Amino acid sequence: MGVTDGTNASQQTKQDTEDLLHFFSLKKKQDSRVRGIKYDDFLTMKMEGVFEQHYNVQEDAHLKALFLQ
């Protein structure tokens, strides 16, 4: 990783982080809607209303269980 990677990572927004966590949470739950799709496809589908617009990682019991074992 170089300077460009670090700069790009530091410019991520709260929404970007929530979207990423939402995507991987659905992947971990083996949700059929995300089977075989890429993150960019997920974002497009989310904008089209296929997925909930507001995701709160603190309310996701499944994701909490993965990290609080």
Residue 29's domain comprises 3-67
- How many separate domains does the chain show? 1
Give the pLDDT of residue 22. Answer: 92
Indicate the pTM of the whole model. Answer: 0.73
Contacts of residue 53, defined as CB under 8 A and 6 or more positions apart, other chains included, come to 46
Give the pLDDT of residue 23. Answer: 95
Give pLDDT tens digits for 25-63. 999 899 999 999 999 999 999 999 999 888 888 888 887
